[in-house]
Chain A
Amino acid sequence: MAAQGCSYEGIKNKPPANVRGFVFCVGAFFTMIKKVHILFAFILLGTSLFNLTVEAADIPKGLPREGDIISAFSVPVPNNQTFISYLMLKERGIFQPAEMDVKLLIIEVMNVY
């Protein structure tokens, strides 16, 4: 029944079979869907857009994000134990990323408690 609206019967120059098939399916789809489906589609679209924006907004203001430059290990403040400990990584035979050939440094800011 749904195919009647997009039937090519009686037309002399019929389009190719694959085009007819496609038009048939699109026609069938729009005939069958109800308003509730359209609403559902909008909800899905809205949710996916919302998820995209939430991911970007997850980083609160003031925290480093792409493109920021941070002087992480360039301020040898007296008593700056973090800097000293960082330098100790080299002493401990681990590595010193700022001066070695490391392309990507992943830092997890944590608390061990």
Chain B
Amino acid sequence: MRSYINELFARIEKDTELKNSVKIIGIAAGNNKDDVAFEEKKYDFPIVPDGQYAFHQLVGQPPTPFFIFARPYGNGRLLVLDSFLGRLEDTDKLFAMVKAALKKSLSSSPVKQNKRQNDQVPDELVIPVEDSELEKMISQGLTVNGEHADKIKKINLKELGDVYTGVLKKSKRQLFARVVARKIPCVDCQDVFFIYSFDDMGKFLQFIPISISKLDNEKWDEKDRNKMQNNYKGKSLLTERHFNPKVDAISSATISSQVIYNSMGETELVIRKLMDMGVIKR
């Protein structure tokens, strides 16, 4: 299944002109060292784990596979010479693209640089439900033992998205519901939209899917939601959790589950921001 890139790698390594000039690396979005170590033997070229989606976000959260042909441009920067999305199993065509990109790289005439550099914002994801329905879901997230939080207000945390907060009347406990919209590093997967709630100590409360799909675009059902809810039930979101696909993933939705874990792992950052803004007082 993976053979076409390995085949390209072999062709480059055999070609005396290309061997020392062209290198292939894989960047595994959302995969940690252990995932990569387990799968690395399938690949003839080195794979760099990108467990926190740092590189994936830097390049605009593409579906995978996404290919970038680039020339090192000093100080760790890369000048993009070509790129394409999806599988290209015609290795002859792929090889021709490599040669064309190398020609551009070696050309004395500079590649025309785009005005926008590193600030290209991908299309913002639109929550796929009506505002009224979203409000109901947020209200559900800000509910503990049947008691609804009061004085709900919205806080925009820029790249961390919107967080809604409210206070329980009796206990004065402050609750938060974060609305998450994420792209998935997978070519046939649907974007993920969900809400999760927690208190000011970072204790997990509820997981509410807005729109999450499994393989073949089948929507998550109540059983899937309950499994994710139980994965976090009673736990603190401030403790680092390593995603184990065999245990933690929803069946036929491994990459979506991985993205959800990654998003929930940002809670510490969310709480720190809320503290900086004075929303959470210590």
Contact = CB atoms under 8 A, between A and B. Distances in A.
A26 B84 CA distance: 42
Given A60-B122, A106-B67, A111 B255 contact: yes
A17 to B, nearest CB: 41
Interface in A38-92: 58-75, 77, 79-83, 85-86, 89, 92
Contacts of B20: 101-102
Contacts of B26: 107-110
Contacts of B78: 69-70, 72-73, 98, 105, 107
Contacts of B122: 60-63
Contact of A63 (B49, B76, B85): B85
* Most chain B CB atoms below 10 A, which of A59, A64, A97, A106: A106
A59 B30 contact: no
B21 to A, nearest CB: 4
Nearest to B73: A69
A42 B22 CA distance: 41
A70 B69 contact: no
B77 A63 contact: no
A110 B83 CA distance: 14
A83 to B, nearest CB: 7
A99 interface: yes
Contact of A97 (B25, B49, B62): B25
A94 interface: yes
Query: Dominant SS at the A interface?
Result: loop
Nearest to B110: A67
Contacts, number: 235
Interface in B220-269: 245, 254-255, 258
Contacts of B55: 72, 82, 109
Interface residues of A, number: 47
Nearest to A67: B114
A113 interface: yes
Contact of A60 (B64, B85, B106, B112): B85
A112 interface: yes
B21 A72 contact: no
A83 B50 CA distance: 8
B84 to A, nearest CB: 7
B64 A110 contact: yes
B82 interface: yes
A72 B76 contact: yes
Contacts of B91: none
A81 B50 CA distance: 6
B157 interface: no
A111 B82 CA distance: 21
A77 B185 CA distance: 22
B163 interface: no
A33 B210 CA distance: 59
B33 interface: yes
B72 A59 contact: no
B48 A109 contact: no
B281 to A, nearest CB: 26
Given A67-B79, A72-B77, 17 more contacts: A59-B85, A62-B122, A65-B114, A73-B76, A80-B52, A81-B32, A81-B51, A97-B23, A104-B105, A105-B72, A105-B78, A109-B65, A109-B67, A110-B185, A111-B29, A111-B255, A113-B31
Interface of B: 5, 20-33, 35-36, 38-39, 46-52, 54-56, 58-62, 64-86, 98, 101-102, 105-106, 111-114, 116-118, 120-123, 185-186, 245, 254-255, 258
7 contacts: A68-B117, A74-B76, A80-B54, A82-B49, A109-B185, A111-B30, A111-B185
